Structure 1
């Protein structure tokens, strides 16, 4: 075959030739075709609009998703304190923490599968099914009375289904935004902060008025409205592309920066959720009233609203990794300072600064992961990072609780977060010159 004929042959994909020969692929044939035909990206895979009604409605949808998922998960500190004093008073705090840790971790673990599914085009149906289970879990939690029931419903069921939605929702923003990606991601991430502020405050007000059961039912109705709206507005812009490989793309780990970044994610989540889990409990121990201790979580999560927005604006200016280093280091410092708080005012100040700084990592990790490879494989790459980070999320609070019981402090969590900040700095150094935007 001549070079000219060969170039014409290669430029004419099999996926276009077959329909002209009278053959149309059925749904059952798709998997087989994908194994033999490498789909090339469509011309419009780049050039995100960076705005427009459809793009901003997607941001609103992701905002509602994070409100309903991370918002509920970040409320765990309130439930930890309530269960210790009431429903599960005969269960150790470390064991109770496993419910919240499972919930935290499972927000991340399913991303390994859902990220790959997103790249292949499976998006709307999994999100809808998971939304239904999340709503049902809220109503079922109201009926739980024993540890294993809370662990199964509030820990495993709610956590897994939150994870099915979160990963693809974070990636879909990158379909619509490029130059303003940090801003769009941070605006969406504010939903987690708002949810993390609304749910604890609502729980504090409603439990004494209408009881735990009806409080959880009210949460269920809120989730019905927010997730219902989100499912209507969520929409991808780019067509699915089958990048060869399974759920786990080992080629991504040829990038040393991505490897370091993933390790930093594990360590960061190993320490970041410790303060959110135990700060209400520590508030009561230093003399803060139980009624106000519930609001400490709301204050921290409310402050993270400004941290997420600020980190997004900074990320577009100086780079996502540069911003994450600064905000993660601040979180580590505040975790070291937390045990030294001796009164309500000091604890509020620490919770405010901690909430502000911890929001930066959560708001930008998907932006950094997307930037470390091609857009066609972004879902799988973000999914791998989130699944690895989930190991830190599930182990962090129970380990810190056990260490605190033995040593009387949480210094280990602060040290781990500072080490994670150092690894983030190393990852950005591997990607660009020290003072470059990264």
Structure 2
């Protein structure tokens, strides 16, 4: 039987769950869940796949608009900031049963952002369209998609979320290919519109197949303050904040580094972004398999964050094209794993799946400050060093190491509580 909101299965009310929902059946770990993983993969293709390709636009905007790197970075960081900021609101609306409505609204805003950005000729127009409108659209989509997949899986949750988040790598591979092949033939504005048509097709498929499993939780607070009294949740929130400051810097700056420091031409340097995104597919799925089979998300995420930190420090010594390609492969693998497992860890902090949307969204909203500040800080450090990247690389390495420490503290506190 379908509910009147998004086709979730209704069950009788019970006083055991805030007088709102009955005890929830265990996740099926498959079945219709894999279709929702496919829907989620397309959503991540449209959101983080687009964001992970921002190096394409950053290079174009700095050349065409003659703006400092730190200024142009704001458009990219505003996108990710808004995606994370409204996670608390979109997550609560997901819990309330508005899943497919969120997909529709978010997709419309994303399409509006892409097509308006293709018409923009000034920086403020790009910031308004691609930054604010695109970020809001992606934010309405992202947290509900991750939360929905989590409700279908328990033993295979990391794998399911890993495959879902690998959509960011798929999109981050396809969009740079389009950007590499089309501008010389149709110009950059029409190249963006072609990307918009790809997003439109994916959004249509998502709307056709998206379904929720749980009954709507119509009542409940927007913020569950009691969650912060749980040490594992609080430490993980701090770890996610640090992680979101640093994990996307490779995608923002690797092709710019290749062009400015190593002297690669714009088209060749774009290959590094293409590679970093492409290897993110196995980079997300392999750690997810390891997490499900052996260690769980916390113990898998800690070495991944440490590995990301080591790679950022190692980036300092890269001075030739071959080494940068190797860095692109390793960084894409490790940072892809960081993104996937960090998302897989969010539902593990929530025993009541009817609250997975709001509790995951709370962490994303706090992490949004890291998303907003990370790329501009990195760009400002590059500008302050007169185009040298060492300060940025050191800062990124330190922030990822700090993230590993907080996640380790979360795992330790969870272990002490018998979780």
TM-score by length of 1: 0.87
Question: 1:15 maps to what in 2?
Answer: none
Q: Distance in 1 between matches of 2:375 and 2:343?
A: 23
Question: 1:11 maps to what in 2?
Answer: none
Question: 2:12 maps to what in 1?
Answer: none
Q: Distance in 2 between matches of 1:433 and 1:182?
A: 23
Question: 1:196 maps to what in 2?
Answer: 172
Question: 1:13 maps to what in 2?
Answer: none
Question: 2:41 maps to what in 1?
Answer: 63
Match among 374, 377, 384 for residue 355 of structure 2: 377
Q: Distance in 1 between matches of 2:339 and 2:78?
A: 18
Contact 1:323 1:360 in 2 (8 A): no
Matched, 1:282 2:260: no
Matched, 1:132 2:112: no
Q: Distance in 1 between matches of 2:42 and 2:162?
A: 13
Contact 1:138 1:216 in 2 (8 A): yes
Question: 1:81 maps to what in 2?
Answer: 59
Question: 2:5 maps to what in 1?
Answer: none
* SS of equivalent to 2:349: coil
Contact 1:280 1:293 in 2 (8 A): yes
Question: 2:330 maps to what in 1?
Answer: 353
Question: 1:264 maps to what in 2?
Answer: 239
TM-score by length of 2: 0.91
Q: Distance in 2 between matches of 1:41 and 1:312?
A: 30
Question: 1:143 maps to what in 2?
Answer: 119
5 Å-filtered alignment, 1:179-258, equals: 179-242=155-218, 244-245=220-221, 247-258=222-233
Q: Distance in 1 between matches of 2:96 and 2:341?
A: 24
Q: Distance in 2 between matches of 1:313 and 1:243?
A: 36
Deviations 1:395-435 (A, max 9, x none): 0011111122224322111111111111111111111169x
Deviations 1:177-223 (A, max 9, x none): 11111111111111110000110121011112210111011011111
Q: Distance in 1 between matches of 2:127 and 2:220?
A: 37
Question: 1:161 maps to what in 2?
Answer: 137
Aligned-pair Cα RMSD in Å:
1.8
Match among 387, 391, 395 for residue 412 of structure 1: 395
Question: 2:365 maps to what in 1?
Answer: 387
Shift in Å at residue 289 of structure 1?
2.0
5 Å-filtered alignment, 1:330-345, equals: 330-345=307-322
Question: 2:88 maps to what in 1?
Answer: 112
Q: Distance in 2 between matches of 1:405 and 1:220?
A: 32
Matched, 1:50 2:29: yes
Q: Structure 1 38/271 Cα, relative in aligned 2: closer, same or farther at 3 Å? A: closer
Large movers: runs of 4+ above 6 Å: none
Q: Distance in 2 between matches of 1:288 and 1:366?
A: 35
Contact 2:51 2:76 in 1 (8 A): yes
Query: Where does the alignment leave 5 or more consecutive residues of structure 2 unmatched?
Result: 1-16
Query: Where does the alignment leave 5 or more consecutive residues of structure 1 unmatched?
Result: 1-36
Question: 2:407 maps to what in 1?
Answer: 424
Contact 1:171 1:366 in 2 (8 A): no
Shift in Å at residue 243 of structure 1?
5.6
The count of residues paired between Structure 1 and Structure 2 equals 396
